Amino acid sequence: MGVEVITVSTDTPYTHLAWRKHEKELHDVKYLMGADSTGNVSRMFGVYDPSSGLSLRGTFLINPEGVLLNTECNYYNLGRNIDEILRKFKANIYMARKSHEVCPSKWKDEGDKTLTPSAQMVGQVHEALVD
């Protein structure tokens, strides 16, 4: 299953090139670096801060049909946790294949406990989780 990761800021593509070449931390980066110089895409996703002209730390997962499945937005001073982003991404891919199952909060990866909601489970989620 293919995924395109695109990092996006309101910088230009030229700045992206210069930053990637200059900053040694980025030498292994292979993601497309999106340049939203007008802020239009950031506005569309609600992460544009007009007081600074910058984008907040928003993460958006879109499935191959173009449907938005997950969002997260942090203010400037809080970094994102890649483990949690990966967890949500893996869960969404898993549930796209197994649409009758749901992933509980502690689900981390394929093979972990999922739930299959049913009339019998109403009021019995604790029992289903420890089962």
Partner 1 sequence: MCEVLVKIGQPVPDFELAVYDPVKNDFGKITLQELKSQKKWTLLFFYPADFTFV
74-107: burial string, b at 16+ Cβ within 10 Å, e else: eeeeeeeeeeeeebbbbbeebbeeeeeeebeeeb
> What tokens were used for 52?
């600074």
Is 71 a binder of partner 1 (CB under 8 A)? Answer: yes
Is 76 a binder of partner 1 (CB under 8 A)? Answer: yes
Is the Cβ of residue 11 or residue 112 nearer to partner 1 in the bound state?
Answer: 11
Rounded to a whole number of angstroms, the minimum distance from the CB of residue 126 to partner 1 is 27
Rounded to a whole number of angstroms, the minimum distance from the CB of residue 131 to partner 1 is 29
d(C-alpha 69, C-alpha 60), whole Å:
8
CA-only gyration radius of the chain, Å: 19
Is the Cβ of residue 28 or residue 131 nearer to partner 1 in the bound state?
Answer: 28
Is 128 a binder of partner 1 (CB under 8 A)? Answer: no
- Residues 87-126, interacting with partner 1 (CB under 8 A): 89, 93
Interface with partner 1 by CB under 8 A: which range of 85-93, 97-105, 106-114, 120-128?
85-93
- In the block, tokens 């499935």 appear at 63
Q: Pairing between strand 54-55 and 57-62?
A: unpaired
Q: Which of 128, 123, 77 is nearest to 106 (CA)?
A: 128
Enumerate binding residues for partner 1 (CB under 8 A). Answer: 1-20, 23, 29-37, 40-50, 52, 54-71, 76-79, 85, 89, 93
